[in-house]
A and B are shown apart, each in its own frame.
Chain A
Amino acid sequence: MNTLIKKEFNSIVGDSRFRDRLEDLLSYSYDAFTVESVPDLVLLPVSTAEISAILKVASEHQIPVTARGAGSSICGAPVPVNGGIVLSMTMMNRILETNTPDRYCIVQPGVINGDLQAELAKSAFFYPPDPGSMAFSTIGGNLAQNAGGPRCLKYGVTSDYVLGMEVVLASGDVIRFGSRNVKDVTGYRLSGLFCGSEGTLGVVTEITLKVVPLPEAYRTVLAVFNDLDDSAATVSDIIGAGILPAALELLDKVLINTVEDANNIGLPREAEGLLLIEVDGSEEQVEKELALIVEKVLSNNAVDIQQARTAEERDNLWQARRSLYPSMARLKPNCIVEDATVPTSKVPEMIRGIRAIIDKYKLLCGIAAHAGDGNMHPLIACDLRDHDEMERVEKAIEEIFELAMANNGTLSGEHGIGIAKRKYLSMAIDKPTLKFMHTLKQAVDPHGILNPGKAI
C-alpha cells in the first residue's frame, strides 16, 4: 500500500489509532486457527462515520478490509489472507442501551459477550447464546459466525436473537434494518443474511438483541453409561418426553480419562460415555423435570448418576465439561476442534465412526458433543511442527466430514467456514446454491473487498 493511500486512512482515524509497524501488523495476523497472514495496515475505528469513510477510500482503491473482533475464531475467519486492512472493532465496545421491560438491548459490536451477560444479570436477564469463548469473544464476532453453545439447544443460536443492525456496506453506505420489536416482518429479514456471513457482506456497527429473563432455578445431572447407544437413547427419551434441556453434553471415554488424568475429580474411567444434563425454569418445573430425567437415565442402563440442586453442586458437575478443552490442549502444543453436525439420533454412529478414523490415522483425539443437537466436537491434540502428523490430521478431518455428510449432517454447527473448511464446501452446498450465494456477494460487494477468501 503506498504512502499516499496510507495518509488518506491516517487522516480518518489519526495517529493514535493507525498502525503500520511490523510488530503491530503481526499482532493482527492470526486468530485461533493455524493459518496466518500479515495485513498492510491496522485501523482501530471508534464510530460508524469513521468506518464509512474508511470503506469509501478502500473501495476506491480496491483494498481488502477484514473486520476483527477478539480474534478467537477457530476457522481463520478474521485472518487477512489477501493483506490489506484489518479493522479492529475492539474499541467500539459500549453497551448503548439495556431495556429489559421491552426485552432488548443495543450494543456496539466490540462488546464482549460475557460483559453483556454481567450487565443484564443486574436486572435478572440474560442473552442466551453462550459460545465456549463467551468470556472473551465479541458480539460482532458472535454475530458474524452465528455462534452457539450448550444453551442453544433450548434457546436457539445468535441469529434467533438479532432484532436489528446497523451495517456499513463496501461502498461506505450505512444501512439500518430491523427494529426494537420482537415481532417485525417489515421488509426482507436481512439480519438472517448477515448472521454467519463472516464479515463478507458488510461491517456491523450496531446490534439490537433480544434478551430474556434469567430462569429461577437449575437442576443438573451427570449420568455415566457403559454403552454409547444407551446415552443416545437417553437423549431421545428425554426430548421425547417433552423436556428441552438447557444443556445435553456428551463426553467420550478418551475425554473422561484425559479430564480425570488432569484434574482427578473422580470420573469413572471405564465408562464409554458421560452425559451432562441441565434443565432450567421455575422451581416447580425443574424439580418435575429432574425426576423424569432421572427415570429416563436409569431406564437406559446408566451405571451411575449424580444430581445437583445447589449452585455449588452444579458447579462441581460442570467442572468435567469446563476442563475438557484445557485438559486436551495441554497434552500437546496444539489442539484442533472440529464441529461437524448430524441429526441427534446419529450421534453414537458418529462417535464410533470418528473413533475408527482417529485410530486409523493414529491420532490423539477426545470426542465431545452437544448431544441434544448433534453438534460433534472432536478435539485433536497435535503439534503443528510435526508435518507427518499434520498430514494425518488433515486426512482424518476430511473423512470426518465425509462421515457427517453420509449421516445427513453438515460441515459446521457453530464455528463457521472461514478458510479452514472452504475447500469442503461443495460436500454440503450444491453448485446452484453456491452460485446464488456468490450472486448475493457480488451484488453488495462488487469489488470483493470485504474479507475476501472466506465463508463461500
Chain B
Amino acid sequence: MSLKPDNLIAPEVHHCSKCGACLHVCPVYLQKMEEGVSPRAKVQLTRHYAEKNLVTSSHLNSLVNHCLMCGNCTAACPSGVQHQSLFMRMRSYMATDHGEGWHLKALYHFLSHEQQLRLVSRFARLGRNHMLEQVPREFKIGKIPAKRLPKFNKQPFREQAVEKIAPEIQSRGTILYFTGCGTNYLYEQVGHALCHILKIMGFQVEIPRSQVCCGLPMFIHGNMEKAAANIKTNIKLFNRKDIVAVVTDCATCGSALHKEYGIVLEELGLATGEAEELGSKVRDIGEFILANFSLLEPHMDPCATRQKVTYHMPCHLRNGQGVTTEIEALLKRLPHVDYTRAADYDHCCGGGGTFFYDHPETSHQIVSRKIKNAIATGADTWITGCPGCSINLSGNLQESDNITVEHILLLIEQGLNKQG
C-alpha cells in the first residue's frame, strides 16, 4: 500500500489552465506577492517535476511547502484542480527524497502513537510548570512566545469524560463526539462544554474511547501511510447507522472526516465507500447547534452578561465542510452576544498546522493583519471553531491586546440559564 510513482503524473497538473484565478485568494501569495509560492506555481512546479524538468531540492521543498493547506485555491479554481491531493502527493515525494524536518517526524510519531502523546502531555505538564522559570521569557516557537501557548490538560479529556453521557430529558438520539487532539490534550473546557450543551439539548453523547488523531497532520505533510491506519480505525468507530450525527469541535478534524478521508483512501487505491458514508454524517458543532437551535433556545439566559464578539472563520470550515454563513448566524441568535464582523473575518489566520513554525515570518505577517482588524471591531471576545486557529490567534496577541480568543462552545455555555 504505497503511492505509485506514476500517480504523480496526475490529471490535475494538466488540468491547470494557468489562468491565475487562485492567486488572489491565497493567503501566502497575498503576503509574499511573488509567483513562486502561488498555488498556480505549486501546480506548475509539480508538473515540471512529473515531467522530469525539475528534481526535488530544498528550494522546491520550501516553495511547495509554503502552504497553509487552507483550500482557498481549490475553491476558486474554475478547472476543478484538486490542490490538496496534488500537494499531499508532492510533499510525500519530497519527504521521501529530502527527509522531513525533525519536528514533523516527531509530530507524526506522536499523533500516530497516541499512547506516547498521552505520556508526553503528562511530562510536559509537569515540566512546563517546573521549568518555566528556567525557560528564557523570550523563548519562541515560530513567532509565538512559549508562555502564550495553551497548557496541556492534566489528563487527556477522553480519560476525564465518561464514555456515554445521558441526555437531561428524553433522548433525541445519539451523537458521537470526535474530540480531536486539540480538545483531548489542550482545551478540556471545550470538550466539557460540548457535552453539557448537547445534554441539555436532549441528546445522548458518546465519546468512543479508542478514537485516534484524525490523521490530517500526517497526510497534508505527505505521510499517507501513517494516516491510513488512523483513518481506518476512526471509520470503524464512527461510521454507525444508529446515530444522529458525528460532531467535531475542530474545523480541521471536521474537514478530514467530512471530506478528506475519501480522498486519501482513493490516493492509496483503497475503497472509499465507508469514508463517504461517514463523511455524510459529520457536522461541525456550531452548524449542528444552529440547525437545532430551538432545542437550545429555552435554556439561554436572557439576562446573561452581554459580550462584544467578533469571529474568525477557519478555512477548513468553509472549504472543507461548506460551512459558510452558519456560525455568524448562530452568533447573531445568541441573546448575550453583540456581534461585529471584522473586515477580514474570513481570511486565513496563517497558522496552517506547522506553517507558523516552518514559515514564521510569513505566518506572523498574515496573523498581524487579522489581529489589527479584530481589535478594530471593539470586541472583547474573538470566537473561532478550531484549536489550530485558536493557538495561532491567541499566541500572537500582545499582553496589552484587550481581546480573548475563545471557542464558540464556551461562549454559548456562558449564556446558559444558571440552573440549566
Contact = CB atoms under 8 A, between A and B. Distances in A.
A23 B59 contact: yes
A24 interface: yes
A331 B14 CA distance: 12
Interface string B30-42: 0001111010110
A36 to B, nearest CB: 9
B94 to A, nearest CB: 12
Contacts of A70: 20, 23-24
A19 B36 contact: yes
A24 to B, nearest CB: 5
A28 interface: yes
Given A330-B79, A333-B14, A26 B45 contact: yes
A72 B63 contact: no
Interface string B15-34: 10111110110000000011
Given A23-B45, A27-B36, A385 B14 contact: yes
Interface in B211-231: none
B20 A72 contact: yes
B78 A329 contact: yes
B57 interface: yes
A26 B44 contact: yes
A90 B33 contact: yes
B19 A32 contact: yes
B14 A32 contact: no
B35 A136 contact: no
Given A23-B57, A26-B54, A325-B78, A137 B44 contact: no
Nearest to A30: B18
A420 interface: no
A27 B53 CA distance: 13
Nearest to B42: A27
A343 interface: no
Contacts of B44: 26-27, 30
Contacts of B59: 21, 23-24
Nearest to B37: A27
A215 B400 CA distance: 45
Given A26-B48, A90-B34, A137 B79 contact: no
Nearest to A333: B14
Nearest to A332: B15
A333 B15 CA distance: 4
B78 A326 contact: yes
B79 A329 contact: yes
Contact of B11 (A21, A71, A329, A333): A333
Contacts of A326: 78-80
A408 B40 CA distance: 38
Contacts of A333: 11, 14-15
B10 to A, nearest CB: 11
Nearest to A86: B35
A114 B24 contact: yes
B290 interface: no
A62 interface: no
A32 B18 contact: yes
B364 to A, nearest CB: 16
B21 A135 contact: yes
A202 B29 CA distance: 27
B149 interface: no
A383 B14 CA distance: 8
A87 to B, nearest CB: 13
Contacts of A93: 33
Given A71-B35, A330-B79, A333-B14, A32 B48 contact: no
A273 to B, nearest CB: 23
Interface in A77-108: 88, 90-91, 93
A136 B19 CA distance: 9
Contacts of B38: 27
A135 B24 contact: yes
Nearest to B79: A329
Contact of A27 (B14, B24, B45): B45
Interface in B44-85: 44-45, 48, 53-54, 57, 59-60, 63, 78-80
Contact of A31 (B14, B18, B63): B18
B93 to A, nearest CB: 15
A333 B79 CA distance: 8
A386 B57 CA distance: 31
A27 B23 contact: no
A133 interface: yes
Nearest to B19: A32
Contact of A28 (B14, B15, B17, B35): B35
A27 B41 contact: yes
Given A90-B34, A333-B15, A23 B20 contact: no
Nearest to B63: A23
A112 interface: yes
A112 B25 CA distance: 12
A57 to B, nearest CB: 21
Given A26-B53, A133-B21, 13 more contacts: A22-B54, A23-B60, A26-B44, A27-B45, A71-B40, A88-B34, A136-B20, A325-B78, A326-B78, A330-B15, A330-B79, A333-B11, A334-B17
Interface of A: 19, 21-24, 26-28, 30-32, 44, 70-72, 88, 90-91, 93, 110, 112, 114, 133, 135-137, 325-326, 329-330, 333-335, 383-385
24 contacts: A19-B34, A23-B45, A23-B54, A23-B60, A23-B63, A26-B48, A26-B53, A27-B35, A27-B38, A31-B20, A32-B20, A135-B21, A135-B24, A136-B20, A136-B24, A325-B78, A326-B78, A326-B79, A326-B80, A329-B78, A329-B80, A333-B14, A383-B14, A385-B14
